[in-house]
Amino acid sequence: MSAALTLAQAKVQGPAIDWAGLSPLLALFGGATIVLLVGLLRARAAREVLVPVLALASFGTAIGCGIWQLGERSNLISGAMRLDELTIVLTFIFCAAGMATVLLSWRSVAVREASHGEFYALLLTSAAGMFVFVAAQNLVALFLGLELLSIPLYVLCATEMRRSTSLESGLKYLIIGSVGSATLLYGLALIYGATGSTDYAGIAAKVGGVVSDPLFLTGIALALAGMGFKASVAPFHQWTPDVYEGAPTPVTAFMAVATKAAALGAMLRFFDIALLDAQSDWGPAIAVLATITIVVGNVGALGQSSLKRLMAWSSVAQAGYMLAGVVVATRLGVQATVFYLATYLFMNMATFAVIVARERSTPFGDDIRSVAGLGAEQPLLAAAVTLAMLGLAGIPVTAGFIGKFYLIDAAVAGDYTWLGIVIVIGSMVSLGYYLRVIAVMWMQSPEPAEAVPVSPATGRPALAGGDTVADAPRAQPEVWFVALLFGAATLVFGIIPSPLFDLAVRAGSAFAGLF
Amino acid sequence: MNLSILLWLPLAVATISLVLPGAASRYAAIPGALAACVLAVVTVVRFKTGTVGLQFATDHLWIRELGIHYKLGIDGLNLFLILLATVLFLASAVWASFTEWERPGLFFFWFGLAESGVLGALMAQDLALFVIFFDLMLVPFLFLTGSWGGPGRVPAIIKLFIYTLVGSLLMLAAAIATGVLAPGGQISFAFSDLVTRRVSSGSQDWIFLCFAAAFLVKMPAFPFHGWMPDGYRAMPLPVLAVFSGILSKVAAYGFLRVVLPLYPDASVHFQELMLLISLASILYGSAMAFTTTNTRLILGYSSVAQLGFITLGVFSLRPEGAQGAILQAVNHGLVVAPAFFIVGLLAARAGGSEDLRDMGGLAFRAPVLATLFLIVTLATLAMPGSSNFVGEFLILLGVFKAKVVFSVIAFAGVVMASVYALRMFIRAMHNREGPTVTSREMTLADGVVLVPLVLAILGLALYPQLALKKGEGTVVRSVAPAQQAAAAAERAEVTP
């Protein structure tokens, strides 16, 4: 009785919570809850139409809140997270990727099997985790964010429950992702041990004193490895091709774009704020990792016949390019990475949308034969993929070219000219597989459908797990919309890049300590 | 006059052709190419001969954050190359519209994009913009060849694309380094800013090598020509005519526009290496041209040799040589495009075969064709009286003044040119009639393409000063930094 009275008299104040700053996160969590509840309704229309619309609306609200808060800089929840331009711009990328994923999975097998409410709720939760991950400026929040984004993704990978490769993909991602998380956690613990602080600001203040401490350096190395798992940085990339191939294609698209953006965003904040003064230690190490990643990714992609595997290896290589922006630890580097992430969203989403479209209308699954002759059959879809491929390869008049230009610019300006050359050499190798896709689309005739009705690897129909009636080819305007929208964006932002530059420069301005 | 109109007109018209119905889209490229050609002629007429600087310049800051300008301009270096480009694209567009293509709208869309890309590379006065157009102009050829080419087209074009883009991407890194490493001030890629603050001699060396790789592959020069035989065999002939006629010249032009003014120290440093590569190209190209029997490849290898001459002129690092190089670039473009057209006509009369062994006796009932072919042949071998003679003479004069030994060996190339050019003419037009040959005169439609080109050759032969005079001032200015650097290097050698 008296204890309660004492407490009441002490007027304990909870931490001040900046609800406005948290609004994008709240929109995503709120959306997840609503979607989950509406998914329980019995009406078929509610599940199949209302739920995706609500998911879209949540992502849209999150973007709207982001636009509202753009320009604000505040600490959220006692400084655990930081709302600034970097967080918001990356939130735009997660949410845009999320919206595209909702559209791509609208009529997919995965959603039917996992049931609609759960699927979209997991997607929204994962995006919320990404917000926490990139906003984190405290080691604990960083780890929370990582788990919050990863766990829903493990489940999403396995949502095509009647297809064994989907289950395998989920399990593989779970196991390897957990190893990555554990590595990161161990690294964070060591960094805490060396510096005595979990806040980025506190760590940054102590870095100067412990820079040669093996405990601290080991901590950085383990944390780097942990984040490398998420960003598919070689040599921590081995899970990528298998998981990407097995997961439902819309989920793959989301992982390829949003997870990568989250991991690189978190790396930018972690290295450029908490560990900025130790740049001479981690800079060369990340540069070497970037080189390995570029080489491994590009060489791995050569000769892949599954488009999803090809895009997986390509995403490894692209992560290597983007690491150059982390290595240099300059504002230009942050801007270049953010810019490239935006272009990467366009190019990947356009490609994955077409893969989804072709998976549904040919019996070849995601095999490269599914796009053979697409140029004659559906020139607009083929044009979208062509623009995306040219962009990923860094050919001019696509956003990808400007992005690569910016990254090399940042690398050279940050005294890493050799890394710029490595990016260029990687792009040369990448022509070998990007051009092949273009050649197959425009310069080959379509494969006869009855020739290979089953996947040669498994001996089962390539779309095992689907039922033939529901999977019959039909109009899929929302998939076309995604493909054409992002294909057009690749072209338009290659010619008029200033809006993207605007966002990238804003994101870079969030880091006051960089020059 | 606004250069942007000339630049984008072909692409704009080509985009319209994309939505036209099949029959109409066949002729859709002609108005765009014709309008561009007329605009180019107007530009040449209105070009003021006395002045050295840029004329008709357009300058907008395109991407502020990267310092990239949308800056176009014309001076003595690119004036006649732009005219050449529009003439060749017009001739090729007319030629192509006489041919049946699958999906003609798409074909002519790529064709228009190619013309805009080439014109952009020639007009660009900003290093980044130059690189963008230099890469962009290749993309349409990937599709033109890959979709409409001959047998083995897909591997051939992918090989070509990878070869040339390897060079281009190296050039991209080098170009960015040029802008970023330039001492002092706001980042800018405009040539006019870059010449005032060149990068240090140490950085110039690797940057030079990257640019040289890009240009030598595109030409192609001797050790970098691996893509050429397959690529030339696979390309449709109208496409090949512009590819060989103008794209390779953009590379030679790049040396004069970018490399000599921006990296003079490295140009002097690597002068002998470049001269050696040129000599090797001349000798290898000529030797291959008089041993191979595929008529396309004869022209292909002769291009290797001719481009060797042009590079030789550029790297004499003297105004005479550079002037000769520009003149020769125009000459070669004017010669090789009708030559490819004639190859097409010959093949049509030799049962579809493009092999010399299947030809012979084609002149029998085709005196006009034979005459036109002879004029082209004589121009190719730089007969005195032709403009090619003037060009080669100036090139050799420049090299003679700079490095005597190289010019003596290069003379052998002049002799060999007459061997392969005459061999091709004699074995195709005279000799015993081939087994499947049916000699017939060319049609009026063929004449529409061929006669203007041959008239242009004759015109330039009568009055080569036209091209030389307009370019003189600019060429001298482009070569001057390298010339000074060479003189300084020589002085440094004399005084220990």
- What average pLDDT does the segment B449-477 reach? 85
- In a mutagenesis test of the A interface, which of B126, B163, B172 is the best target, namely the one with the most A β-carbons within 10 Å? B172
> A395–B64: do the CB atoms touch at under 8 Å?
no
**HSE (CB half, 13 Å, CA atoms) of B308?**
33
State the residue for tokens 């983007």: A322
Nearest-angstrom CA–CA distance, B127 and B254: 10
State the residue for tokens 């400084």: A79
| Most confident of the following: A105-109, A170-174, B25-29, B59-63 | A170-174
- What average pLDDT does the segment B45-59 reach? 83
Residue B162, chain A, CB below 8 Å: the answer is: yes
- What average pLDDT does the segment B323-338 reach? 91
- What average pLDDT does the segment B403-410 reach? 88
Mean pLDDT, chain B, rounded, equals: 88
| Lowest-confidence pick of A90-104, A157-171, B182-196 | B182-196
* Confidence (pLDDT) at A4: 63
Q: Is the pLDDT of residue B228 over 60?
A: yes
Residue B28 lies in a domain: no
Q: Is the pLDDT of residue A3 over 70?
A: no
Nearest-angstrom CA–CA distance, B310 and B279: 11
- What average pLDDT does the segment A141-164 reach? 92
Residue A280 lies in a domain: yes
| Minimum CA–CA partner of A406 in chain B | B66
Confidence of residue B163 (pLDDT cuts 50, 70, 90): confident
Tally the domains of chain B.
1
What is the distance of C-alpha B385 from the center of its chain? Answer: 22
What letter does residue A213 receive in the DSSP assignment?
Answer: -
Extended beta strands in B240-294, E state = none
Q: Which residues pair with B59 in a beta bridge?
A: B71
How does pLDDT run across B208-227, given as a tens digit for each residue? 999 999 999 988 888 888 88
Nearest residue, CB atoms, A439 vs list B103, B146, B166? B146
Residue A464 lies in a domain: no
- Quick check: helix, strand or coil at residue B189? coil
Report the complex ipTM: 0.90
| Chain A positions touching chain B (beta carbons under 8 Å) | 335, 375-376, 379, 390, 394-397, 401-402, 404-406, 408-409, 412-413, 417, 420-421, 423-425, 427-428, 431-432, 435-436, 438-439, 442-444, 497-498, 501, 504-505
Nearest residue, CB atoms, B173 vs list A424, A432, A501? A424
Residue B170, chain A, CB below 8 Å: the answer is: yes
Nearest-angstrom CA–CA distance, A427 and B170: 10
Nearest residue, CB atoms, A439 vs list B66, B154, B166? B154
The more confidently predicted of residues B194 and A448 is B194
Confidence of residue B162 (pLDDT cuts 50, 70, 90): confident
Residue B344, chain A, CB below 8 Å: the answer is: no
Confidence of residue B496 (pLDDT cuts 50, 70, 90): low
Nearest residue, CB atoms, A501 vs list B65, B146, B157? B65
Residue B18 lies in a domain: no
Task: Count other Cβ atoms within 10 Å, centred on residue A470.
Answer: 10
B442 CB-contact burial (10 Å; exposed 0-12 / middle 13-18 / buried 19+): buried
* Confidence (pLDDT) at A466: 46
Confidence of residue A456 (pLDDT cuts 50, 70, 90): very low
| Most confident of the following: A6-10, A17-21, B60-64, B311-315 | B311-315
Contacts of A434 in chain B (CB under 8 A): none
> A412–B146: do the CB atoms touch at under 8 Å?
no
Q: What percent of chain A clears pLDDT 70, i.e. is strictly above it?
A: 92
Residue B15, chain A, CB below 8 Å: the answer is: no
Q: How far is B130 from chain A (nearest CA, A)?
A: 11
Full residue range of the structural domain in which residue B354 is found? 270-482
How does pLDDT run across A406-430, given as a tens digit for each residue? 999 999 999 899 999 999 999 999 9
Confidence of residue B366 (pLDDT cuts 50, 70, 90): confident
Name the pTM for this structure.
Answer: 0.92
Nearest CA among A140, A302, A419, A369 for reference residue B177: A419
The more confidently predicted of residues B314 and B24 is B314
Write out the two tokens for B392: 């080669």
Write out the two tokens for B290: 């008089």
Contacts of B180 in chain A (CB under 8 A): 409, 412-413
Full residue range of the structural domain in which residue A246 is found? 20-449+474-509
Give the DSSP letter string of B383-408: -BTBHHHHHHHHHHHHHHHH-HHHHH
| Minimum CA–CA partner of B159 in chain A | A432
* Confidence (pLDDT) at B184: 75
Contacts of A336 in chain B (CB under 8 A): none
Residue B421 lies in a domain: yes
User: Taking the alpha carbons of A162, A168, A169, A174 in that order, is the dihedral positive or negative?
Assistant: positive
| Minimum CA–CA partner of B189 in chain A | A409
> B172–A405: do the CB atoms touch at under 8 Å?
yes
Q: How far is B51 from chain A (nearest CA, A)?
A: 33
Residue B131, chain A, CB below 8 Å: the answer is: yes
Residue A125 lies in a domain: yes
> A436–B170: do the CB atoms touch at under 8 Å?
no
Residue B65, chain A, CB below 8 Å: the answer is: yes
User: Which of 379-418 (B) contact A at CB < 8 A?
Assistant: none
Q: Is the pLDDT of residue A9 over 70?
A: no
Mean pLDDT, chain A, rounded, equals: 89
* Confidence (pLDDT) at B475: 84
> B173–A396: do the CB atoms touch at under 8 Å?
no
> A420–B177: do the CB atoms touch at under 8 Å?
yes
Contacts of A435 in chain B (CB under 8 A): 142, 158, 161-162
Residue B114, chain A, CB below 8 Å: the answer is: no
Contacts of B173 in chain A (CB under 8 A): 408, 412, 420-421, 423-424
Residue B373 lies in a domain: yes
Nearest-angstrom CA–CA distance, A249 and A355: 8
Is residue A514 within 8 A of residue A272, CB to CB? The reply is yes
- CA torsion A462→A468→A473→A475, rounded to 10°? -130
| Lowest-confidence pick of A195-199, A381-385, A402-406, B54-58 | B54-58
Nearest residue, CB atoms, A395 vs list B64, B103, B139? B139
**Neighbouring residues of B93: CB distance < 8 A, sequence distance ≥ 6:** B29, B30, B32, B33, B108, B111, B238
> B136–A379: do the CB atoms touch at under 8 Å?
no
- What average pLDDT does the segment A31-51 reach? 90
Confidence of residue A452 (pLDDT cuts 50, 70, 90): very low
N residues, chain A: 515
Residue B306 lies in a domain: yes
Residue B18, chain A, CB below 8 Å: the answer is: no
Q: Is the pLDDT of residue B203 over 80?
A: yes
Tally the domains of chain A.
1
- What average pLDDT does the segment B216-244 reach? 90
Q: Is the pLDDT of residue A450 over 70?
A: no
Residue B308 lies in a domain: yes
- What average pLDDT does the segment A338-346 reach? 95
> A435–B173: do the CB atoms touch at under 8 Å?
no
Q: Is the pLDDT of residue B51 over 80?
A: no
Nearest CA among A461, A455, A432, A244 for reference residue A369: A455
Is residue A407 within 8 A of residue A325, CB to CB? The reply is yes
Nearest CA among A178, A181, A187, A156 for reference residue A169: A156
Q: Is the pLDDT of residue A465 over 70?
A: no
Nearest-angstrom CA–CA distance, A68 and B143: 45
> A390–B139: do the CB atoms touch at under 8 Å?
yes
Q: Is the pLDDT of residue A265 over 80?
A: yes
Residue B106, chain A, CB below 8 Å: the answer is: yes
State which H helix or E strand residue B73 sits in.
strand B68-74
Confidence of residue B29 (pLDDT cuts 50, 70, 90): confident
> B135–A402: do the CB atoms touch at under 8 Å?
no
Confidence of residue A377 (pLDDT cuts 50, 70, 90): confident
| Minimum CA–CA partner of A405 in chain B | B176
* Confidence (pLDDT) at B106: 87
Q: Which residue type occupies B73?
A: G
Dmax of chain B from CA atoms? 74
- Report how many Cβ contacts below 8 Å link chain A to chain B: 90
> B158–A424: do the CB atoms touch at under 8 Å?
no
Residue A4 lies in a domain: no
| Minimum CA–CA partner of B133 in chain A | A396
> B139–A421: do the CB atoms touch at under 8 Å?
no
How does pLDDT run across B291-300, given as a tens digit for each residue? 998 999 999 9
Contacts of B162 in chain A (CB under 8 A): 428, 431-432, 435
Residue B444 lies in a domain: yes
Residue A394 lies in a domain: yes
> A443–B153: do the CB atoms touch at under 8 Å?
yes
Q: How far is B440 from chain A (nearest CA, A)?
A: 35
> B64–A505: do the CB atoms touch at under 8 Å?
no
